[in-house]
Amino acid sequence: MLCHKWSDQLYDKSSQQIKLYKVLDIVFRRVNMTTTTRNGANEMTKLKKDLYTLVSHSGLDDAVEHKLITTKGDENKVRINGGVLFDSFKVADDAEFMVNYHREEGGLYPKMSGGFSKKRLGAQQIYVPSAEINAKFKTLTKEF
């Protein structure tokens, strides 16, 4: 008789634990699915218009390349970490050239000005411009 009561209590506890795990799983999924930004958009919400940013170059040291931004989460990550956003490919391409070949003496190999954030977009670090380059960006872009 004692064994039977003990096993019933054990079963009740394990079923309560199972119910608790199911509830926690549901809550966890809802929290992760509804991560919202300040304006109420989901982090994975597609942007109405594609944006571009500069990130560490995938093949060269001390150089940057442009990268397409299509989600609200990536846009926020770039803004929060001091990166720059461009509203067209042409402007991003001009900015990439400006950053890689900013020196007056020219040169064959790129030598960027600025640094990188510790945060990444995919496998590439977000580019953070120097004050000098940031001032030059103002001539390329308008605030959007």
pTM of the full structure: 0.66
| Residue 9: per-residue pLDDT | 46
Q: Are 94 and 88 in contact (CB under 8 A)?
A: no
Q: Taking all residues of the chain, what is their mean pLDDT, rounded to a whole number?
A: 76
Q: How far is Cα of residue 137 from the mean position of the Cα atoms in its chain?
A: 21
pLDDT tens digits, residue range 16-35? 666 666 655 655 555 444 45
| Residue 67: per-residue pLDDT | 94
Residue with the bigger pLDDT between 87 and 143: it is 87
Domain locations along the chain: 1-34, 46-140
Range 35-52 average pLDDT: 72
| Residue 135: per-residue pLDDT | 83
SS (H, E, C) the chain: CHHHHHHHHHHHHHHHHHHHHHHHHHHHHHHHHCCECCCCCECCCEEEEEEEEEEECCCCCCCEEEEEEEEHHHHHHHHHCCCCEECCHHHHHHHHHHHHCCCCCCCCCCCCCCEEEEEEECCEEEEECCHHHHHHHHHHCCCC
